[in-house]
Amino acid sequence: MKNFLFLKHHFNDAIVFNMNARLINIICVLFITVLFSSVVNAQSYNLNKLDNNLSDFAEKWNNPLEEWGHVGAIRLDSVKIDESRKVLSYYFNKPLSYIPWRNDILDTFINSILEYQKDSFPNYGVLAYTNSYELSSLIPNVFNDSEALDTERIYAQEKSYHIKRKEQDDYPKGLSGSHLALWHSHGWYYESKLDRWEWQRARLFGSVEDISPMVYVLPYIAPMLENAGAVTYIPRERCFSISEIIVDNDWSSEGGRLVLKKKINSTSKNGFIFKDTLFAGDNPFMLGTSLLISDAKGKVADYIPLIKDKGEYAIYVSYQQDEANSDKVTYTIHHSGGTSSYIINQQMGGGTWVYLGTYLFNDGKESRVEVSGVGQVSLDAVKIGGGMGNVARRPSNEIMPNQWSLNNTGAQKKEAVSVDPDEFTWKTSQRPRFMEAGRYWLQYAGMPDTLVYSLNDEKNDYNDDYQSRGEWVDYLMGAPNGPTKDREVEGLKIPIDLAFAFHTDAGVTPNDSIIGTLGIYSAERDSGVFPNGQSKLASRDLTDVIQTQIVDDIRALYNEKWTRRGMWDKQYSEAWRPNVPTMLLELLSHQNLADMKFGLDPHFRFDVSRAIYKGILKFQAYQEGRDYVVQPLPVDHLGLTETKKGYQLIWQPVMDSLEATAVPSKYKVYTRIGNNGFDNGTVVQGTTYELPKIKKGQILSFKVTAINEGGESFDSEVLSIGIATKKAEKVLVVNAFDRISAPAFVDEGDFAGVAWWDDEGVPDKYEYAYTGNQYDFNRQSPWLDDDSPGWGASYANEEGNIIKGNSRDNVMIHGQAILKAGYSFISVSDEVFESAGFDASSFKAVDIILGEEKTSVSYKGNAPKYKIYTTAFMNKIKRLTANKQRVFMSGAYVGSDIKLNNDTLANDFAADVLRFKWRTNHAVKKGSVCSTDYAAPVFKGQFEFNTSHSQEYYTVEAPDGIEPVGINAVTAFRYSENNVSAGTLYNGEYKTVILGFPFETVMNEKERDKLMKQILTFFFKD
């Protein structure tokens, strides 16, 4: 309710009156009842007539806002009559501001009021206000088709580069030169009142809010932004490896050393030093030293780590910033795929960890980070990998509630207990650092405690955590945009353009409808302007652009009824503390099964992440007054083919139906030699690439990205080729395992949830946010607390584990075994294999990788995808067998996919051509397999494939039991657990070997090699 004094203050020359109002329920109709409490110089006739008509306003008003009924109850607080200008101004309460206003909606809204008041106040105009803003000012500049743009919302930073990768193109219509801060939810934190580490939300449906947004931000959003040229800053560990290697002038991990190539001029009193445990007040960047070279003229140092375990590791570097430092210091990372270089401006961003990239490193000492520059160069530490949390916590001297004690009757009761901190041990998280809350990363990364992350006297880590994110953004920038307690602190001088906070909120709908997407911003504090003078309505614009993009894309791709919730202008800490345009996103409800059916799907994660990236791109482009181009989608139809001159890689671009600008203009082909990492790529203009000469016994692998002025796409699948000898027979390997998917769900009234026993789904490369299986499926189970959350409750046994999914790199495993057996191989995607123009007749044997491929139904249109037995696939196999070619096919659903589709044609094809039939799925729990006497002497021995969660092999939770059909077909393998047939052999006019489990999941390399050699010996022996 706006009172008279408020209105008089703002409209001193106007006729003002107050009114009370009933709630306006705009789900169906808008009811307004106005009681005039004071009238100043108004015409009583017109006012009385207006009052009489307001009671039936709902019936006469063509309400354009009915679809926004879910944003909250809307009231008309007051009306002002300006007789001199002949204008009626309507003042609504705050929920009206939650609507994404556009010119057409505003016109309809105003015209409907004009139509209502025309009899009482003919020739009077209308203005409408909410949350102290006139409605037209809530239309984002980017969507405003009028000329009345708000220039105070537009602010573009000067392009001052902090980090730039040498090999990366500039993307003039992407995000080159942009500095973006983003983060994901809360994380594992210490609750001092309970003296334990915990999540801030409950484990539900196999996940938890503290880490579920992480699987959008780290694998998708940050790389998309970086592929557009931006530098991203994240206040949480972004490396998933639990190993951590430090190379430093003060102390290095075992076997690591810093080799100086230039005389040191001085040693700074400030710098990083590793401590195995950090306590309250410890700043590792203030406890060590750093080195300074004042006259560098090239290479100055090598940081040489000892890598004990081959794997992918993030690389971080540190230095001390100084205005006298060089702004072009080159850090060259020597990794297994070659070298990658970054140029860093050491005049900013010092005294903390600076993320460069993530690379594959072989074990040993062949890797290093080389530093070179001209002028003054600072040297501190290099960090490789993520590591385990090392910040220790214990209660401070405070009162701890909820402690049980016995009263004089012997009954238990709760009472407050005074705490002596010395009686409690220090506790670290015992979790990988990537799972921890940002507050602990910020301490480990050298942020000043009282300005950034210790804001509640060490008494409340939960509050410190969510409050620290915005203060960290401000410290990255420094004066005049510094943290709340010191706006003028120097900070790190990084020109942050915007901030983005990603959460999934709570809520359950009784009918299991979608709760949907909420946007939050803050425009009220500091008189509605940032320290640089930019209007805080820029945060609303950012929120509107991103939320619009998300909802539009989800409705187009997944669910046309996806709920767009409101845009709240509220004082959430993560929204108001950053001194740049900021959005806090609540994507969906992690408590609501209908939302989580989408939230657990890798496709959904990718598409939502792409929508967020597009929203940020479009907002930033508008701020800078330029056009934008969206980076392309990944290419497909990848194939390796033989030509007269050698071998050629082919592919096709994928057009984006949602974004006309996402068209490739060129491509980049990345090459890998053997088991090393990929190189930095070769740019090509067309959709073919002539392979370099392949050495005998060498495996080359390739992946492709698409590029345009807006950036670079994600990678394609990986194909490989290997030549044993010039005369060796070639095996065609077909990569037909494309599937990534959410797990199965069950919904039978009061029994509902994640059907992990049926299908665990297939992660996109890896799953990092799985907590454990759901165990409470009763919809009526009540929430008691986060330790007993009722329906959806899940175990915690998988937290911290990395679960492998579809790497899209399975050809390599097959190819290695083929090459060791003495045969050459070449590979194509299933799209190329099935195409009419591809001729496979020259290959005596074909190896088809089906993995966990099986038919899935798309969210919109019910169109099947990932179906194995398409008409094109079956026709191609028929031509192969008619030509007496050999077929090896392995996969967990080779028979189940037929049963799933109740496909008579596929059933006949399997029996008549491949010579097998489906018997059962979920054939075994353990993956032990042995050969049968029927298959001797062709096959002999035993082996084991993976049926559990692993970082090295994807999980085969439902292998098929398949049986032979017809003469010359036999059971070649049985599952040791129950003697169910695990694989078949056909030795007739042609030959087939079909396995009910994926070959690439056989865990022992020697066993894989032996099995492949036996298969190929059977195929090629006349």
> Amino acid letter at 911?
A
Instruction: Give the integer Cα–Cα distance in Å for 853 and 385.
Output: 33
pLDDT by residue (tens digit) across 839-871? 999 999 999 999 999 999 877 766 789 999 999
Q: How many CB atoms lie within 10 A of CB 905?
A: 12
pLDDT by residue (tens digit) across 733-785? 999 999 999 999 999 989 999 999 999 999 999 999 999 999 999 999 999 99
Residue 239 structure tokens: 């490396």
Count of alpha carbons within 13 angstroms of residue 734, beta-carbon side: 26
480 upstream amide cis, omega within 30 of 0: yes
What's the confidence (pLDDT) of residue 20? 30
Are residues 827 and 734 in contact, defined by beta-carbon separation less than 8 angstroms?
Answer: yes
Are residues 225 and 232 in contact, defined by beta-carbon separation less than 8 angstroms?
Answer: yes
Confidence band for 27, pLDDT divided at 50, 70 and 90: very low
Nearest to 115 by CA among 59, 31, 48, 47: 59
Instruction: Give the integer Cα–Cα distance in Å for 437 and 440.
Output: 6
Least confident window among 11-25, 75-89, 612-626: 11-25
Are residues 250 and 272 in contact, defined by beta-carbon separation less than 8 angstroms?
Answer: yes
Instruction: Give the integer Cα–Cα distance in Å for 788 and 961.
Output: 39
What's the confidence (pLDDT) of residue 263? 84
Residue, of 917 and 65, whose pLDDT is higher: 917
What's the confidence (pLDDT) of residue 958? 97
Q: What is the mean pLDDT of the chain?
A: 91
What's the confidence (pLDDT) of residue 592? 94
Residue 579 structure tokens: 């001194």
Confidence band for 411, pLDDT divided at 50, 70 and 90: low
pLDDT by residue (tens digit) across 581-593? 999 999 999 999 9
Percent of the chain beyond pLDDT 90?
82
pLDDT by residue (tens digit) across 347-361? 999 999 999 999 999
Q: How many CB atoms lie within 10 A of CB 511?
A: 5
Average pLDDT rounded to a whole number, residues 622-640:
97
pLDDT by residue (tens digit) across 283-327? 999 999 999 999 999 999 999 999 999 999 999 999 999 999 999
What's the confidence (pLDDT) of residue 191? 95
| 72, pLDDT greater than 90 | no
What's the confidence (pLDDT) of residue 737? 98
Contacts of 695 (CB under 8 A, 6+ apart): 723
Residue, of 11 and 706, whose pLDDT is higher: 706
Enumerate long-range contacts of 248-252, CB under 8 Å, 24 or more apart: 248/272, 248/273, 248/274, 248/288, 248/380, 248/381, 248/382, 249/289, 249/290, 249/291, 249/379, 249/380, 249/381, 250/274, 250/288, 250/289, 250/381, 251/288, 252/305
Contacts of 800 (CB under 8 A, 6+ apart): 242, 431, 432, 435
| 959, pLDDT greater than 90 | yes
Q: How many CB atoms lie within 10 A of CB 624?
A: 18
What's the confidence (pLDDT) of residue 140? 94
> Amino acid letter at 63?
N
DSSP-assigned letters across all residues of 437-493: -HHHHHHHTT--IIIII--STTS-HHHHHHHHHHHHHHHHH-TTS--TT-TT--TT-
Average pLDDT rounded to a whole number, residues 75-97:
90
Instruction: Tell me the β-bridge partners of 678.
Output: 672
Average pLDDT rounded to a whole number, residues 806-817:
98
What's the confidence (pLDDT) of residue 436? 98
| 16, pLDDT greater than 90 | no
What's the confidence (pLDDT) of residue 189? 98
pLDDT by residue (tens digit) across 163-200? 999 888 899 999 999 999 999 999 999 999 999 999 99
pLDDT by residue (tens digit) across 511-550? 788 999 999 999 999 999 999 999 999 999 999 999 999 9
Give the pairing of strands 730-735 and 824-829. parallel
Instruction: Give the integer Cα–Cα distance in Å for 901 and 856.
Output: 10
Residue 389 structure tokens: 């949390």
Instruction: Give the integer Cα–Cα distance in Å for 914 and 935.
Output: 17
Q: Give the per-residue SS3 of 679-702.
A: CCCEEECCCEEECCCCCCCCEEEE
pLDDT by residue (tens digit) across 374-387? 999 999 999 999 99
Confidence band for 64, pLDDT divided at 50, 70 and 90: low
What's the confidence (pLDDT) of residue 744? 96
Instruction: Give the integer Cα–Cα distance in Å for 292 and 957.
Output: 56
What's the confidence (pLDDT) of residue 14? 32
Longest dimension (CA), the chain: 108
Instruction: Tell me the β-bridge partners of 752.
Output: 747
> Amino acid letter at 912?
D
507: left (phi over 0), alpha (psi -120 to 50) or beta: left
What's the confidence (pLDDT) of residue 118? 85
Instruction: Give the integer Cα–Cα distance in Å for 784 and 29.
Output: 37
Q: In this structure, what are the phi and psi dihedrals at residue 354, rounded to the nearest 5 degrees? A: -115, 115
What's the confidence (pLDDT) of residue 414? 54
DSSP-assigned letters across all residues of 230-298: -EEE-SS-----S-EEEE-SS---TT-EEEESS---EEES------SSB-TT--HHHHS-EEEEEEEEE
Burial class (CB in 10 A: 0-12, 13-18, 19+), 348: buried
| 401, pLDDT greater than 70 | no
| 1020, pLDDT greater than 90 | yes
Helix (H, G, I), strand (E, B) or coil at 96: helix
SS3 content of the chain, % helix, strand, coil (to 5): 25, 30, 45
| 44, pLDDT greater than 50 | no
Q: Give the per-residue SS3 of 381-399.
A: CEEEECCECCECECCCCCE
Instruction: Give the integer Cα–Cα distance in Å for 36 and 49.
Output: 12
What's the confidence (pLDDT) of residue 29? 29
Nearest to 183 by CA among 591, 542, 465, 450: 465
Instruction: Give the integer Cα–Cα distance in Å for 923 and 821.
Output: 30
Strand stretches in 892-980, DSSP E: 916-920, 928-931, 942-944, 961-964, 969-975
| 963, pLDDT greater than 90 | yes
**Inter-CA distances, 656 with 171, 223, 276, 633, 956, Å:** 19, 19, 49, 7, 33
Instruction: Give the integer Cα–Cα distance in Å for 918 and 910.
Output: 9
